[in-house]
Amino acid sequence: MRNWIIGSALAALALASPVAAQEKVKLINVSELSGAGATAGTNWKNGIDLAVAEINAKGGIMGRQIEIVHYDTQTNPANTRAAVQRAIDEGTYAVLGPVFSGPIGASMQIAQRAEIAQFVGGEAANLTQQGNPYIFRTSLSQTAAMPKLAKALATDVKAKSVAVVWVNNDFGKGGRDAINAELAKVGIKVVADVSTEQGQADFAADAIKIKNANPDAVFAYLNEEESARFLRAARQQGIDKPIWGETTLLGAKVIELAGDAANGVKGHVGLSVDAPMNPLRDFGRKFRERFNYPSDHNGIKGYNAVYMIKWATEKQKKFDKKGVADTLRGATIKVSEEPGILMDTTILKNGDIDRESFLAEVKAGKQEIVAVLPPVGP
Amino acid sequence: MSEFLAYLIVGIATGSIYALAAIGFTLVWQTSQTINFAQGEFVMLPAILVLLAVKLLGVPIPVAVLIGAAAFVLIFGVGFKRAIVDPMLPHGVLPLAIATMSLAIIMKEGAKDGFSAEAQSFPSPFAADTVSILGTAVSVQFIMIIVVAFASIAALQWFVTRTRTGRQMQAAAQNPNVARILGIPVERMVMLTFIINAALAALASFLISPIYLAKFSNGETIGLFAFIAAIVGGFNQVRGALLGGILVGIFDSLAAAYVSTSYRLAVPLALLVLIILLKPEGLIGRKEERHV
């Protein structure tokens, strides 16, 4: 009897030992699951969940299953800081998220101090201009996207004047500064520079202001829900000039929320499930099957982030947190090596990425890719 | 001038929705002498119930609107009165006010967890066209919001002042003890007030959600503006709530246009402070005295 008790205790100890715990690799996602960024954060989270399920089904990363944990930041910078710190304290292998640029800016130093790679969905230009070697984008930055947009407005629309409507947060301010600089370079005048607030519900006054400025085109740089509200207000107030934007404005959620008001909107899209590329389309199909709605670019970003971690770990052939960042900086991940990356992607030394992108238009409630644009770099 | 007219119409349209919500504050105040801090959430929830009905029952939007409105009036008109107001009121107005604060949190978090944290599209019954008024292109949707809101408030005013039941409601609100002596069924009249409040909140919800999109957090903004509107106009007057709502809507629209969207909320708040300092009973409110 006594031997049986000792044997059981030893067996229990063995099960609870670090050797058993090492069978999993823990990833913690810190994103906007409620608040103003809920749409972006939920898509990002679902993209992560899809990637984790796929990787685990195929045996995990180097034989280890991924354990994924999600924390809601409520789109609040203070909560984001606390959640990133908690993720690190709980031993995350890398930090996933957040998506909004403001909360990223407020929390990225924490992961940097811990020397842990952080994969974010933000596009604000300044995020990768602060010398943080542990921050990695999953989408093009504003500095890569805006020159393409300004060129399209000058050549395709032949616009001489543009009204810029932007959201007054880090993402919006960065985008507004970047597009205004690029518009000046191609000789387009900004006739209305309309600042709006994150979470703003009523855009009627802004739409009237823009309409009365009588621009040749409108450039909208807002978050998802605000983009949809603005498009509805623009149509209600009779704005009939071309409305252009960057990835978010043409996202699936914006199209769904804006309804008919989204038709005719054009812009630059960094990632799209409608792109003429089989890996992206396959991802879009799998996402829809699992979550019963179409993914926007944030879903692809979350999915990409997990596969970037997988690729880096397999490349360095060990589970070294700091090594993930070291391996990724300056690397090019090809779809032929890692299909989960979906598009050949070069990660620059500062954490920016470079790859092909698209010009798109919303037609009959669907985003259609009208041109594939080459990467900025060689 | 045409630009100003466009801002003015937008302000009146959103203001008339605030007025519908603000009337709810005045109705609850008149019958229970307390403030319903869940009034914003009362406007947020009906649209979400409609979308839930579409999702769960697969019914078309017009049917879902009827189901959502009926469910809301039943739960948050009759149910609110029976489950929260009746048990709490004997303990004083402060516990009731705190109970409505709790209700606001429960409604908001319940909508987030039970439905969605994301905004959802809510269809507008009106065309997305514009019409020309004095040379200014004006949204048909905003004109129709003004028409529907004003018609509803006029109907309410007619009901309260010109019908026997309406006058009984007023009597029950002004002096329930005397009303009881006169044979007025005070309890039934108070219940009717809560039902009307819920119905107006549902109407406001269906008018504002196509613009704001249906989202669990909508009540914060709407509740705040409606509260300001009720104080500005006069907390104890339906006409005051209407005037306050329109003024707050216009101030908000003009502030967004001529000041800045960053400071637009500050302008109605400044109006609120001004009214509290100069005419604390509201622009057309009655002075009330209490002995403590």
Q: Strand order of the sheet with strand A118-120? A: A65-72, A24-31, A95-96, A118-120, A135-137
The encoded tokens of residue A30 equal 């810190």
Q: Which residue out of B122, B145, B222, B261 would a mutagenesis test of the A interface target, given it has the greatest number of A Cβ atoms within 10 Å?
A: B261
- B212–A35: do the CB atoms touch at under 8 Å? no
pLDDT, mean of residues B279-291: 82
* Spacing of C-alpha B191 from chain mean position: 17
- Provide the pLDDT for residue A23: 80
For B262, which of A195, A228, A257 is closest by C-beta distance? Answer: A195
pLDDT, mean of residues B155-174: 92
- Residues B22, B238 contacting (CB under 8 angstroms): no
- How far apart (Å, rounded) are the C-alpha atoms in residues A170 and A160? 27
Asked if pLDDT for residue B9 goes beyond 50, the answer is yes
Asked if pLDDT for residue A20 goes beyond 50, the answer is no
Q: Which residue out of B10, B207, B218 would a mutagenesis test of the A interface target, given it has the greatest number of A Cβ atoms within 10 Å?
A: B10
- Residues found in chain A: 378
Tell me the CATH number for domain A18-139+276-347: 3.40.50.2300
- Name the H helices within chain B: 2-32, 39-57, 61-73, 80, 86-88, 93-114, 140-162, 164-174, 176-181, 186-212, 218-233, 238-258, 266-278
In A, minimum Cα distance to B257 occurs at A205
Assess B10–A contact: CB distance below 8 Å, yes or no. yes
Asked if pLDDT for residue A336 goes beyond 60, the answer is yes
- B139–A209: do the CB atoms touch at under 8 Å? no
Of all residues in chain A, the percent with pLDDT exceeding 90 is 85
- A236–B141: do the CB atoms touch at under 8 Å? yes
- Provide the pLDDT for residue B31: 83
Asked if pLDDT for residue A85 goes beyond 80, the answer is yes
Asked if pLDDT for residue B134 goes beyond 90, the answer is no
Assess A296–B contact: CB distance below 8 Å, yes or no. no
Please give the interface size between A and B, counted as residue pairs whose CB atoms are below 8 Å apart: 94
What residue ranges of chain A are covered by domains with CATH 3.40.50.2300?
18-139+276-347, 142-269+358-373
- Provide the pLDDT for residue B100: 95
Asked if pLDDT for residue A1 goes beyond 50, the answer is no
For B262, which of A39, A197, A205 is closest by C-beta distance? Answer: A197
What digits encode the pLDDT tens for the residues A315-335?
999 999 999 999 999 999 999
Assess A170–B contact: CB distance below 8 Å, yes or no. no
- Does domain A142-269+358-373 fall under CATH 3.40.50.2300? My reply is yes
Q: How far is A202 from chain B (nearest CA, A)?
A: 6
Of all residues in chain B, the percent with pLDDT exceeding 70 is 98
Comparing B89 with A279, the larger pLDDT belongs to A279
Say how many C-beta atoms besides its own lie within 10 A of residue A330's C-beta: 11
Comparing A369 with A16, the larger pLDDT belongs to A369
- A195–B260: do the CB atoms touch at under 8 Å? yes
- Provide the pLDDT for residue A17: 44
CA angle B199, B202, B208 (to 5 degrees): 140
- Provide the pLDDT for residue A19: 42
Q: How far is A12 from chain B (nearest CA, A)?
A: 38
Assess B112–A contact: CB distance below 8 Å, yes or no. yes
* Spacing of C-alpha B12 from chain mean position: 15
- A205–B256: do the CB atoms touch at under 8 Å? yes
- Residues A75, A32 contacting (CB under 8 angstroms): yes
- How far apart (Å, rounded) are the C-alpha atoms in residues A149 and A171? 17
First to last CA, chain B: 52
- How far apart (Å, rounded) are the C-alpha atoms in residues A165 and A229? 12
What digits encode the pLDDT tens for the residues A41-53?
999 999 999 999 9
- How far apart (Å, rounded) are the C-alpha atoms in residues B2 and A237? 13
Asked if pLDDT for residue A15 goes beyond 90, the answer is no
The mean of the pLDDT values for chain B is 92
Assess A257–B contact: CB distance below 8 Å, yes or no. yes
- How far apart (Å, rounded) are the C-alpha atoms in residues A296 and A252? 5
Q: How far is A215 from chain B (nearest CA, A)?
A: 16
- Stated as kind and residue range, the H or E segment containing B138 is strand B136-139
- A34–B212: do the CB atoms touch at under 8 Å? no
- For chain B, positions 47-106, list CB contacts with chain A under 8 A: none
Asked if pLDDT for residue A4 goes beyond 60, the answer is no
- A204–B213: do the CB atoms touch at under 8 Å? no
- Provide the pLDDT for residue B32: 81
User: Looking at residue B6, what DSSP letter applies?
Assistant: H
Please classify residue A186 by burial: count the beta carbons closer than 10 Å to its beta carbon, then call 0-12 exposed, 13-18 middle and 19+ buried. Answer: middle
| Residues of chain B contacting A204 with CB distance shorter than 8 Å | 10, 13-14, 139, 142, 211, 253
Tell me: ipTM over 0.90.
no
- A205–B213: do the CB atoms touch at under 8 Å? no
Say how many C-beta atoms besides its own lie within 10 A of residue A276's C-beta: 10
Distance set, CA A152 to CA A140, A141, A219, A312, A359 (Å): 17, 17, 12, 36, 9
What digits encode the pLDDT tens for the residues A86-120?
999 999 999 999 999 999 999 999 999 999 999 99
**Confidence category of residue B110, pLDDT binned at 50, 70, 90:** very high
- Provide the pLDDT for residue B212: 94
Assess A53–B contact: CB distance below 8 Å, yes or no. no
Assess B16–A contact: CB distance below 8 Å, yes or no. no
Comparing A118 with A23, the larger pLDDT belongs to A118
